[in-house]
Amino acid sequence: MEKRININSETGTLEAILDENSSNKGVVITHPHPLYGGDMENTVVHTIASVFKSMDYTTLRFNFRGVGASTGSYGEGIGEQADIESAMDLLHKMNVETVVLAGYSFGTWVIQQLVKNKSLTNRLILVSPPIDFMKFDETIKMENLDFVVVGSNDEFASSARLESLVEAWNISTSYKVIQGADHFYSGHFSHLADALSGHL
């Protein structure tokens, strides 16, 4: 059952929703851009959480600093990396052995920034990295990048360009394009869920 919790962080606390499962698998889910209304209540974030829950994962979605009841202010992607680490630490303290990082939109960019700065062993799943809106590192190797999904009509990510980037990041990463879907997946939430659950 979902419950609202606070995660201790360097800025104070992060507002979060935890849905605990008895397995030793968990996922931390990151949300869209805080300056454009992104938060953990986003429908795509909900969809990602629902799929992982159906696969017996403990799910943890949270508001980045300055969003909702999370303390602090927008950290330009730097502070948000620490927020992700705080969320991961919580799951590890709960004895969750395997923690996946799953991001949507801006949340994928923060995950890549974290990968650049830390040696992570976490499995990574990226939903709609906004490569035409934000600067992603084209040269970094993301050894644990497992799955990337995007809509064919995503206005912030050319699916053809993203495919070439994914190949550069990790040639063995699975890549899926959902036909007809835009960046927000309106009318395509079930197709996104099917893509994620089919991969998992």
Residue 137 — very low, low, confident or very high, per pLDDT cuts 50/70/90? very high
Residue 73 — very low, low, confident or very high, per pLDDT cuts 50/70/90? very high
The reply to whether CATH 3.40.50.970 applies to domain 2-199 is: no
- Give residue 171's pLDDT: 97
| pLDDT tens per residue across span 20-43 | 998 999 999 999 999 999 999 999
- What are the residue ranges spanned by the domains of the chain? 2-199
| pLDDT tens per residue across span 84-112 | 999 999 999 999 999 999 999 999 999 99
pTM above 0.95, yes or no: yes
Residue 44 — very low, low, confident or very high, per pLDDT cuts 50/70/90? very high
Tokens of 92: 């590890």
Secondary structure of 16-74 as H, E, C letters = EEEECCCCCEEEEEECCCHHHCCCCCCHHHHHHHHHHHHCCCEEEEECCCCCCCCCCCC
| pLDDT tens per residue across span 3-23 | 999 999 999 999 999 999 989
Mean pLDDT score across all residues of the chain: 97
- Give residue 183's pLDDT: 98
Residues 6+ apart with CB under 8 A from 5: 16, 17, 18
Burial class of residue 26 in the structure, from the number of CB atoms within 10 Å of its CB (0-12 exposed, 13-18 middle, 19+ buried): buried
- Give residue 174's pLDDT: 98
- Give residue 17's pLDDT: 98
State the average pLDDT over residues 156-171: 97
CA-CA-CA-CA torsion sign (30, 33, 35, 36)? negative
Residue 118 — very low, low, confident or very high, per pLDDT cuts 50/70/90? very high
- Give residue 101's pLDDT: 98
pLDDT above 70 covers a percentage of the chain that reads 100
